[in-house]
Amino acid sequence: MPQPYSPIEPYCTHRLKVSELHELHVEECGNPEGTPVVFVHGGPGGGSEPWHRQFFDANRYRIILFDQRGCGRSTPHAELRENTTWDLVADMEKIRELLGIQKWVVFGGSWGSTLGLAYAVTHPRRCRALILRGIFLLREAEIRWFYQDGASWIYPDAWEAYRDAIPVEERGDMVQAYYKRLTSPDPAVRAAAARAWSIWEGSTSKLFPSPDMAARFGEDRFAEAFARIECHYFINKGFFESDDYLLKQVHRIRDIPGVIVQGRYDVVCPMRSAWDLHQAWPEADFAVVPDAGHAASEPGILSKLLEATDRYAGS
């Protein structure tokens, strides 16, 4: 079993005001003189967690974690206004400038891969390397697969609760139906929809599903931000100008060292997207883990991620 690095605490935290409305939580761990790496969390709306620090050797990396707008310790919680992909890309630049970093390694899984790619194609010269896992390009087919029809064929049991939160006559467009509830003025309606949405994702993330994970995803505070922000980004097609925007922009980053790590049995972000990215960016290292799903904590995925961070750590 691969072991993550030991738990660590930040040596420094920041509150960064990025708009009239939003303030971000930013933290630095590890070695202030080390290679800078930014951890880009999933969702959108998932927030960063203490164990995310453990993908990196604290002796060799200056590890930067932040909570994206509206989630984790950033405020206001679950806020959808002034919250777009391009706001988040701009926030990453603000963080980089605040910390006086020229170039950093960008590490992200799932939505973290989406945002990591959006950042990298916009600011390629700021990226020392990219480490991407569980590739999500936020294309219509990916949203349809997981939230409408596809993953439901693999997890019909977990699907029931997600489906039953929506009345039959609205099930033709689940994302739209959820959006209506997740933005309802009634907090009880919002909370019920958020729980159902979030538990669906938590129940399907691992090759061997863990009840712990599903339960954690169902906690009110987490679910509210996760479900509302995800749904908002999906309704808005990721704020990308076209469905294949990221793939079309990959030419901008092909000379940056890159690693793509993908679980073969990822049901949340099926391997087709990682494969499409690999085709568009053949120079990047492409590691398919034959016995894993979506989660970064699965042994085969963790092992490849640790290998990748070790490679770019410098001396």
Select 99 or 158, whichever has its Cβ closest to ligand STX. Answer: 158
Select 29 or 296, whichever has its Cβ closest to ligand STX. Answer: 296
Catalytic hit among 48, 74, 110, 203: 110
Compute how many other C-beta atoms are within 10 angstroms of the C-beta atom of residue 56: 29
Tokens 């777009």 -> residue: 84
Select 257 or 299, whichever has its Cβ closest to ligand STX. Answer: 299
* Helix or strand (DSSP H, E) at 219: none
Nearest approach, Cβ of residue 32 and ligand STX (Å) = 27
Q: Is 232 a catalytic residue?
A: no
* Helix or strand (DSSP H, E) at 61: strand 61-66
Catalytic hit among 25, 41, 123, 294: 294
188, burial (CB in 10 Å: exposed 0-12, middle 13-18, buried 19+):
exposed
Nearest approach, Cβ of residue 64 and ligand STX (Å) = 17
Select 41 or 69, whichever has its Cβ closest to ligand STX. Answer: 41
Nearest approach, Cβ of residue 295 and ligand STX (Å) = 7
Nearest approach, Cβ of residue 20 and ligand STX (Å) = 27
In Å, the largest CA–CA distance within the chain is 60
Give contact residues for ligand STX (rule: CB under 6 A).
41-43, 46, 110-111, 136, 201, 205, 230, 268
Q: DSSP 3-state assignment of 65?
A: strand
Q: What does the block give as tokens for 187?
A: 């907090």
**How far, in Å, CA of 202 to CA of 10, rounded?**
27
Select 41 or 232, whichever has its Cβ closest to ligand STX. Answer: 41
Select 79 or 230, whichever has its Cβ closest to ligand STX. Answer: 230
Q: Is 294 a catalytic residue?
A: yes
* Helix or strand (DSSP H, E) at 223: helix 220-235
Burial 234-244 (b: 16+ CB within 10 A, else e): bbebbbbeebe
Catalytic hit among 22, 205, 266, 273: 266
Nearest approach, Cβ of residue 139 and ligand STX (Å) = 12
- Strand 61-66: give its sheet, edge to edge: 12-17, 23-30, 61-66, 35-40, 104-109, 127-133, 258-263, 285-289
What's the distance, CA 169 to chain centroid?
Answer: 31
Q: Is 110 a catalytic residue?
A: yes
* Helix or strand (DSSP H, E) at 186: none
Nearest approach, Cβ of residue 132 and ligand STX (Å) = 12
- The residue number whose beta carbon is nearest to ligand STX equals 42
Give catalytic residue positions: 110, 266, 294
